[in-house]
Amino acid sequence: EIVLTQSPATLSLSPGERATLSCRASQSVSNYLAWYQQKPGQAPRLLMYDASNRATGIPARFSGSGSGTDFTLTISSLEPEDFAVYYCQQRGYWFITFGQGTRLEIK
């Protein structure tokens, strides 16, 4: 089983600041990594797929990078609506796992 470890658990920032979220895999997942945003009471929303590709309708302030075991989600300038929980997810040949999440909160 591939374990995804996200850091930090909580990130406190102000609107306009840059956010950097990390996801580390216990073994290589190539570029098969996705990022989701989840707000209270809502389903997860796909942000990035295959590590660095923005999903349809996702603003350009969101970007993803990395391959192998280390991945980063960057939000270049935080908007009020960006404060939420973020999850990374990998897909192996058949087994899928999620990270434990990073809570992005307003400072």
Q: Under the rule (CB under 8 A), what is the footprint of another protein?
A: 1, 31-34, 36, 42-46, 48-51, 55, 87, 89-91, 94-101
Dihedral sign, Cα of residue 64, residue 66, residue 69, residue 74: negative
**Residue among 96 and 106 whose Cβ is closer to another protein:** 96
Give strand pairing partners of 45: 37
By beta-carbon proximity to another protein, the closer residue of 19 and 34 is: 34
3-state class (DSSP) for residue 82: helix
DSSP 55: P
Smallest separation, CB 15 to another protein (Å): 26
